[in-house]
């Protein structure tokens, strides 16, 4: 795994942990994890329906106050173990969704279900959540306490990703120039030229401060390659001069190169 990938992985894990802390601290209405001993086992029964009426029933294993919410209306019930509600004026064939909630002094449980008018005894599987009454205020306090740390974690993740990008996504100009110098020393000028071209392209994308740290090495490689190019051209023109095929302009260029070499 490359160092840049490791940095991104660390940032991702940090962000995930921060998200986990927030999600476990935020109160969205219910907090899971209540001790089983406090559960009241809220259970909706099947809805007994006619074309326009329905009778809903539900129960708990200990006395609890309860509420029923259906069609935007809420009905409250005194503490009991068994509950019943008759509904009238229903539309035949229409499916109604409802939610029941039961609470003791320690815990609340909620279940959701549905029925269709005019189908006899119906009811979809219930889904619900358990909440500890005393835990809600504590959960809010936990959220407030953890939120600054979570924000700092997200900030650290962003900085880590940025640093990883700056350090590892850009080509290593120093390494390219070092290899180019080695090729020049070994008279492998084509390889050195390719490395110089790539290094110069990457150099142009750097900020000014970063360019300063590579400028001298880049200039040194350029001068070495330039001298070699001049020597090669001078050799080619000298051969033409010896064979008598050199032109006037080429002769002037040869004199210029010979003067530069001297």
**For residues 22 and 216, what is the distance between their CA atoms, to the nearest angstrom?**
50
Mean pLDDT of 87-105: 91
**For residues 112 and 178, what is the distance between their CA atoms, to the nearest angstrom?**
70
Check residue 17 and give its pLDDT: 63
Of the pLDDT bands very low, low, confident and very high (cuts 50, 70, 90), residue 131 is low
Return the number of other C-beta atoms located less than 10 Å from residue 180's C-beta. Answer: 28
**For residues 54 and 88, what is the distance between their CA atoms, to the nearest angstrom?**
7
Mean pLDDT of 136-145: 55
Identify any residues that bridge with 164 across adjacent strands, giving them in sequence order.
Answer: none
User: Which alpha helices (H) appear in the chain, and where do they start and end?
Assistant: 3-25, 133-168, 173-185, 189-204, 208-243, 248-261
Q: 13-17, 110-114, 153-157: which has the minimum mean pLDDT?
A: 13-17
Q: Which residues have C-beta within 8 Å of that of residue 136, sequence separation ≥ 6?
A: 27, 31
Buried b (16+ CB within 10 A) or exposed e, 68-87: bebeeeeeebeeeeebebeb
C-alpha distances (whole Å) from 130 to each of 13, 24, 40, 67, 136 are 29, 14, 9, 15, 12
Mean pLDDT of 134-146: 54
Answer yes or no: CATH 2.60.40 is held by domain 36-134.
yes
> Is the confidence at residue 186, as pLDDT, over 70?
yes
> Is the confidence at residue 170, as pLDDT, over 80?
no
Terminal Cα distance for the chain, rounded: 52
Higher-pLDDT residue of 2 and 228 is 228
Residue 52 DSSP class: S
Of the pLDDT bands very low, low, confident and very high (cuts 50, 70, 90), residue 28 is very low
> Is the confidence at residue 154, as pLDDT, over 90?
no
> Is the confidence at residue 137, as pLDDT, over 90?
no
Q: Where are the domains of the chain?
A: 3-27+138-168, 36-134, 173-261
The answer to whether 40 touches 101, Cβ cutoff 8 Å, is no
3 state DSSP class of 108: strand
Check residue 254 and give its pLDDT: 83
């Amino acid at each position: 795994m490359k160092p840049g990938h490791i940095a991104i992985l660390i940032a991702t894990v940090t962000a995930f942990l921060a998200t986990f802390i927030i999600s476990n601290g935020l109160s969205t209405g219910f907090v899971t994890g209540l001790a089983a001993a406090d559960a009241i086992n809220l259970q909706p029964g099947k809805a007994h329906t006619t074309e326009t009426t329905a009778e809903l029933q539900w129960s708990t294993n200990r006395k609890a106050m309860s509420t029923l919410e259906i069609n935007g209306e809420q009905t409250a019930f005194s503490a009991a173990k068994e509950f019943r509600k008759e509904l009238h004026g229903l539309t035949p064939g229409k499916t109604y969704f409802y939610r029941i909630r039961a609470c003791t002094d320690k815990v609340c449980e909620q279940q959701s279900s549905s029925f269709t008018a005019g189908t006899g005894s119906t009811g979809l599987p219930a889904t619900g959540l358990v909440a500890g009454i005393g835990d809600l205020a504590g959960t809010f306090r936990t959220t407030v306490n953890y939120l600054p740390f979570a924000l700092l974690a997200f900030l650290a993740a962003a900085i880590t990703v940025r640093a990883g990008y700056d350090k590892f996504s850009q080509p290593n100009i120093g390494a390219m120039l070092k290899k180019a110098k080695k090729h020049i020393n070994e008279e492998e000028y084509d390889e050195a030229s390719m490395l110089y071209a790539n290094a110069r392209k990457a150099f142009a994308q750097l900020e000014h401060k970063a360019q300063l740290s590579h400028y001298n090495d880049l200039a040194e490689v350029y001068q070495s390659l330039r001298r070699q190019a001049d020597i090669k051209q001078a050799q080619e023109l000298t051969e033409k001069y010896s064979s008598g095929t050199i032109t006037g302009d080429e002769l002037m260029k040869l004199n210029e190169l010979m003067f530069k070499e001297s």
